[in-house]
Structure 1
Amino acid sequence: MKNSQNTPKIYVGTYGRYNSGSLFGKWFDLSDYSDAAEFYKDCYEYHRNEFLPELMFQDWEGIPDFLISECSLYEEAFKYFKAVSEMDDDRAEAFELYCSNIVSWPANGNDLEETLEGFNEAYQGYYGGVMKDPKTEFTYQYVEDTGMLAGAPSVLERYFDYEAFGKDLFLDGYSEYNGHVFIDI
């Protein structure tokens, strides 16, 4: 996580200073912390010269919007960062899409492990390569993997409409987000 360009960082100021016209604060690299308690401890220590500082997250990088707001960081964020750091870039992007667009995690109340299990069952892969349309690319792979046309004569195979079949697949059963395909569960 330390070497990643997407290392999560937060610029932390306080509402008191902001209301006084100051953007005084500091960038905190979240990869330096093992959990939220450790992070908040450092934030309060940095702003110790203020009486009861009310922290304000004025900017952030590498943190999905569903994990952060102007005044709070979701408590499971560090577990999320650890899980994502163990994934390749495509899979990490897909997991973020899954959390935000498909299952609305963490708002849905599920824990991270349960969400990861669901993701591993639903995720079919990234299809943004050789073809212009990820859905059609997935459909070609689906037809090949299922052996759907295995017994069909080659003359008939040439007339199979992959695009039309793909539209049907994605009407009920599959979803695509930025080239990532998921089974609708």
Structure 2
Amino acid sequence: MTATIDTTPRVWIGCLQCHNEGNLVGDWYSASEADKITTSKVHERVINPGTHEELWCLDHENLPITGECSPYEAAELARAIEQVPEGELPALNAWVLSGDYIEDGDGLPSISDFEERYCGEWSSFREYAEQLAEDTGLLTNVPEAVGRYFHWEAWSRDLAFDYVVLDASPHCVHVFRNL
């Protein structure tokens, strides 16, 4: 039985005034709905909620950001990444967190650029390079006696200048084209 990893973007939305007063008042919500959460919803379990007005995402899961953000920013980002197939979310997160990604006009990761650049998850860049060579027929018309002398390491190293390679796990990498 394989374990299922939950990749749902979530945020912990808290009352900023309560937080500044030393009280953690808030809860976890779906990031795509973060901009719809009201102060009364956050304070519904508080006996004397007062008239606090400002909410803030003080923590998050499965969003490609570091640090805190506004509920609006969290919702916009979550709705943008919902366009990516679930299996590619770790790659999108790695791409954005690397800082080497393309933004759309709203400052969000460009999903179309991600899809155009992402080449998949591989055990190494060398494995990707060898598959690319096979797929493109790099050595198709080269006699076998000559092909044995092809310097795979040098070719892979030179090819890597046209790609961004990011760690996916201890034994895998995500490969992105530089366009």
**Shift in CA distance, 155/120, structure 1 to aligned 2, threshold 3 Å:** same
- Measured on the aligned residues, the alpha-carbon RMSD in Å equals 2.7
The TM-score with structure 1 as length reference comes to 0.74
Aligned length: 165
Separation in 2, partners of 1:29, 1:120: 24
1:46 matches 2:52: no
Counterpart residue number, 2:62 = 62
Counterpart residue number, 2:91 = 94
Out of 107, 114, 122, the residue aligned to residue 119 of structure 1 is 114
**Shift in CA distance, 174/20, structure 1 to aligned 2, threshold 3 Å:** closer
Amino acid at match of 1:47: H
SS of equivalent residue, structure 2 residue 60: strand
- Greater strand percent: which structure? 2
Q: CA deviation at 1:111?
A: 6.0
Separation in 1, partners of 2:29, 2:111: 27
| Unaligned ranges ≥5, structure 2 | 168-172
- Greater helix percent: which structure? 1
Out of 170, 173, 180, the residue aligned to residue 160 of structure 2 is 170
| Unaligned ranges ≥5, structure 1 | 129-133
Q: Is the 8 A contact 1:99 1:105 kept in 2?
A: no
Separation in 2, partners of 1:81, 1:124: 18
SS of equivalent residue, structure 2 residue 114: helix
Separation in 2, partners of 1:59, 1:118: 27
SS of equivalent residue, structure 1 residue 83: coil
Q: CA deviation at 1:141?
A: 0.8
SS of equivalent residue, structure 2 residue 83: helix
Separation in 1, partners of 2:157, 2:69: 40
Q: Is the 8 A contact 1:47 1:53 kept in 2?
A: no
**Shift in CA distance, 111/30, structure 1 to aligned 2, threshold 3 Å:** closer
The TM-score with structure 2 as length reference comes to 0.76
